[in-house]
Amino acid sequence: MKRTVLLKLLGIFMPLLILSCNPVSKLGKDPEVLKWQQEVSTLKAMPVSYAPATLLFVGSSSIRLWDSIQKDMFPYPAINRGYGGAKLKDFTFYANELTAPHKAAAIVLFIANDITGDVNDLTPENVLNYFKLAVKEIRKNHPGIPIVWIEVTPTPARWSVWPEISRSNELINSYCNAREDLFFIPTSTHFMTDNGKPDPCLFLPDMLHLNRRGYKVWSKVIKHSLDSGLPELKKMQQ
């Protein structure tokens, strides 16, 4: 009798215990995460990709503002589902919602707002931890396809915290290199001048977001990295 009661209690409380220990479920109580619900709902209402060769780009404003992505990424078919101001913490919470409906050859991430010079910035180590959680969320419905992380770009607006941003890039790069299904695209050197600082000619007046010239550089680097690092994706376009 006691054993039966105990089993029933475990059946009731164990799921609650698991839920309380799930770091992603806890994010659903964070106002800084929940404020993106409307924007995410808008993205979910957009057309879904049914072509298995598609590259699905997700992330922050540099992805959202990339209105020439289909032209720039040709011959790779690409769609962008970014929202401005995205951070890894909120993206992790919405990652499965944003990626699950789509068929894709690879999912490409660029999220650049976790280290900005603000007092609430994540440490490079926490950036890596949220990246790991985001990958797990994406893997719920895309267990086998490549997940690609584009290096956070050095920008004039955030140059003062570039050491911390660079460190987070290094940590994610090392993590990706140790796994067959994760890929890191280095881009930083292509946005630097000979003096080792970000090239202002590649950015909008806010010195944070890419201009048309910047997107041309970015897409060229991304395509070259995909061609060499993931040649099977290129074969899918033929």
pLDDT digit string, tens, across residues 181-204: 999 999 999 999 999 999 999 999
- Is residue 58 a contact partner of residue 77, using CB atoms and an 8 Å limit? no
Q: Is residue 35 part of a domain?
A: yes
**CATH number for position 206:** 3.40.50.1110
Q: Is residue 153 part of a domain?
A: yes
What range defines the domain where residue 153 resides? 24-236
Q: Is residue 106 part of a domain?
A: yes
* DSSP state string for 2-53: HHHHHHHHHHHHHHHHHHHH-HHHHHTT-HHHHTTHHHHHHHHTSPPP--TT
The C-alpha R_g of the chain, in whole angstroms, comes to 19
pTM: 0.90
Q: Return the number of other C-beta atoms located less than 10 Å from residue 5's C-beta.
A: 9
Task: Give pLDDT, residue 22.
Answer: 72
Q: Is residue 51 part of a domain?
A: yes
Q: Is residue 10 part of a domain?
A: no
Per-residue model confidence as pLDDT tens digits over 106-116:
999 999 999 99
E runs forming strands in 60-157: 78-82, 106-110, 147-150
Task: Give pLDDT, residue 172.
Answer: 98
Q: Count structural domains, the chain.
A: 1
Q: Is residue 13 part of a domain?
A: no
Q: Is residue 202 part of a domain?
A: yes
With 70 as the cut, is the pLDDT of residue 5 above it? no
Exposure of 103 by Cβ count < 10 A (0-12 exposed, 13-18 middle, 19+ buried)?
middle
Per-residue model confidence as pLDDT tens digits over 36-87:
999 999 999 999 999 999 999 999 999 999 999 999 999 999 999 999 999 9
Mean pLDDT of the chain: 91
Q: Is residue 197 part of a domain?
A: yes
* DSSP state string for 162-194: HHHHHHHHHHHHHHHHT-TTEEEE--GGGGB-T
